[in-house]
């Protein structure tokens, strides 16, 4: 099936993206869907190597990539012997046409970055990392790899503060030396008919959040919601979480946090794409982080942004995605909710702005292409066998080498089954 699928690609320029997208709605898959569309319009043959399986694809345009995937992607290449690495890289090659011409590999998080480097070396491609994580503690042991990519101008983050924070354990990188590319996903709103708008119960105050429920700053936001609800028990408060979670227990825990508050009505929509404009507009205010706060503003709703690193409010979004000239109305989520909803402190409301989203996305991707073209023209690759590993990962490499992949995987699967 793979070979048949790959035969439709021509042989001039190939853009390979290693990413996950099945059974989830998140900024990463939406970004990659946009990037695929843009690169294909430029004449590139785009190859997607999925990192997870699943039964459903929420993001339009990604359906054609659902199927075979890389099951071992969460393991570092250095957890395998060189002979085993070669066998596993051959699985990647099944997704790639034989004649690829000029080739670029793009990855966006640690586990895809390492395999992307190994794959790029094997096929003689350029490998760029556009790091999509706001924070990722796992990379603290592998910063030598990211420094290598940075020095070759093959690494960018979603913001300059994120890159500075990334390298903080290794070096003090000045902000003006950090490299950032916008990966906005604001073209996720559509003015479509949806039952959701009718299902939302408005309260005296109606508050929204957009994003996955696993976001690291969500507990801070929830604490602010809880404090606000407890402070005003005589007010009916409706809170809508526009997002879903990988595990049901995450949703269950969120519901349980509000269970004792009889003045609060909670709604969790689950994964939703596209976002219906009329449903978003039933909110009085959004409190979100990263690109999601821009989405709320583009719907014409006041949108408080939570800083990705400090988890503190850092301002209100304009519809064009920039922070407006007004600072946050306090240091906490509660302070800002009280100021806007109770004290009626004036903050300019953004206007609805969803008509030219694709033009804005394309403007961002122009910078992506410039970055790609400005990276080093001399091919060189980091030796993934030098990646620093934890004791657990070194133990896995030892047993894989001694037992071989077939026996090791059989024992691993049996242990996982017993542990259920």
Whether residue 203 sits in one domain with residue 181: no
Whether residue 208 sits in one domain with residue 136: no
Is 360 domain-assigned?
A: no
Whether residue 382 sits in one domain with residue 291: no
Whether residue 82 sits in one domain with residue 59: yes
d(C-alpha 92, C-alpha 123), whole Å: 11
Whether residue 261 sits in one domain with residue 137: no
In 3-state terms, what secondary structure has residue 336?
Answer: helix
Whether residue 221 sits in one domain with residue 177: no
Domain ranges, residue 58: 2-185+366-389
Q: Which of 317, 286, 283 has its CA nearest to residue 196?
A: 283
The sign of the dihedral angle between the CA atoms of 217, 220, 226, 228 is negative
Confidence (pLDDT) at 419: 67
Whether residue 195 sits in one domain with residue 181: no
Whether residue 287 sits in one domain with residue 170: no
Each residue's pLDDT tens digit in the chain (420 positions)? 343 344 444 458 999 999 999 999 999 999 999 999 999 999 999 999 999 988 899 998 899 999 999 999 999 999 999 999 999 999 999 999 988 999 999 999 999 999 999 999 999 999 999 999 999 999 999 999 999 999 999 999 999 999 999 999 999 999 999 999 999 776 889 999 999 999 999 999 999 999 999 999 999 999 999 999 999 999 999 999 999 999 999 999 999 999 999 999 999 999 999 999 999 999 999 999 988 998 999 999 999 999 999 999 999 987 555 556 578 999 999 999 999 999 999 998 888 888 778 888 899 999 999 999 999 999 999 999 999 999 999 999 898 999 988 898 888 787 767 766
Is 415 domain-assigned?
A: no
Is 172 domain-assigned?
A: yes
Whether residue 40 sits in one domain with residue 176: yes
Whether residue 279 sits in one domain with residue 153: no
Is 382 domain-assigned?
A: yes
d(C-alpha 124, C-alpha 103), whole Å: 8
Confidence (pLDDT) at 8: 42
Other CB atoms within 10 A of residue 38 CB: 20
d(C-alpha 369, C-alpha 188), whole Å: 22
> How many distinct structural domains can be found in the chain?
2
Residue 88 burial (10 A CB sphere; 0-12, 13-18, 19+):
buried
Query: What tokens does 367 get?
Result: 């910078």
355 Cβ partners below 8 Å, 6+ apart?
Answer: none
Is 244 domain-assigned?
A: yes
Is 413 domain-assigned?
A: no
d(C-alpha 157, C-alpha 166), whole Å: 9
Query: For residue 49, what is the domain's CATH number?
Result: 3.40.50
Is 408 domain-assigned?
A: no
Whether residue 385 sits in one domain with residue 237: no
Confidence (pLDDT) at 7: 40
197 Cβ partners below 8 Å, 6+ apart?
Answer: 276, 278, 279, 282
Is 404 domain-assigned?
A: no
Whether residue 169 sits in one domain with residue 63: yes
């Amino acid at each position: 099936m793979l070979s048949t699928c790959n035969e439709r690609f021509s042989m001039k320029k190939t853009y390979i993206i290693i990413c996950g997208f099945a059974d989830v709605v998140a900024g990463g898959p939406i970004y990659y869907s946009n990037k695929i569309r843009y690169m294909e319009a430029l004449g590139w043959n785009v190859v997607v190597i999925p990192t997870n399986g699943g039964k459903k694809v929420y993001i339009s345009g990604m359906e054609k990539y659902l199927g075979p995937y890389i099951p071992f992607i969460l393991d570092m290449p250095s957890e395998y012997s060189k002979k085993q690495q070669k066998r596993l890289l051959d699985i990647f090659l099944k997704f790639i046409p034989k004649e690829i011409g000029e080739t670029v590999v793009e990855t966006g998080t640690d586990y895809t970055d390492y395999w992307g480097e190994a794959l790029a070396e094997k096929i003689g491609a350029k490998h760029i990392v556009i790091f999509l994580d706001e924070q990722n503690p796992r990379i603290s042991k592998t910063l030598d790899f990211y420094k290598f990519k940075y020095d070759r101008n093959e690494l960018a983050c979603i913001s300059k503060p994120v890159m500075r924070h990334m390298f903080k354990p290794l070096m003090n990188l000045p902000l003006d030396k950090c490299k950032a590319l916008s990966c906005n996903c604001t073209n996720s709103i559509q003015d479509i008919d949806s039952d959701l708008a009718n299902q939302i119960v408005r309260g005296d105050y109606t508050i929204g959040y957009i994003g996955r429920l696993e976001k690291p700053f969500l507990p801070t936001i929830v604490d602010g919601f809880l404090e606000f609800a407890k402070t005003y028990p005589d007010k009916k408060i409706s809170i809508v979480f526009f997002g879903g979670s990988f595990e049901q227990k995450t949703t269950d825990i969120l519901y349980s946090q509000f269970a004792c508050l009889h003045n609060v009505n909670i709604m969790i929509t689950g994964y939703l794409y596209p976002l219906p404009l009329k449903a978003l507009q039933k909110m009085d205010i959004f409190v979100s982080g990263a690109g999601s706060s821009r989405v709320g503003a583009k719907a014409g709703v006041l949108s408080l942004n939570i800083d990705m690193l400090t988890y503190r409010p850092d301002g209100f979004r304009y519809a064009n995605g920039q922070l407006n000239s007004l600072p946050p109305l306090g240091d906490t989520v509660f302070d800002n909710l009280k100021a806007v909803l109770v004290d009626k402190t004036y903050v300019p409301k953004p206007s609805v702005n969803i008509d030219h989203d694709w033009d804005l996305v394309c403007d961002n991707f122009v910078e992506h292409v410039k970055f790609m073209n400005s990276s080093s023209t001399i091919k060189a690759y980091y030796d993934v066998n030098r990646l620093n590993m934890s004791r657990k990962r070194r133990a896995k490499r030892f047993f894989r080498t001694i037992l071989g992949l077939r026996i090791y995987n059989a024992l691993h699967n049996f242990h996982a089954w017993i542990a259920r």
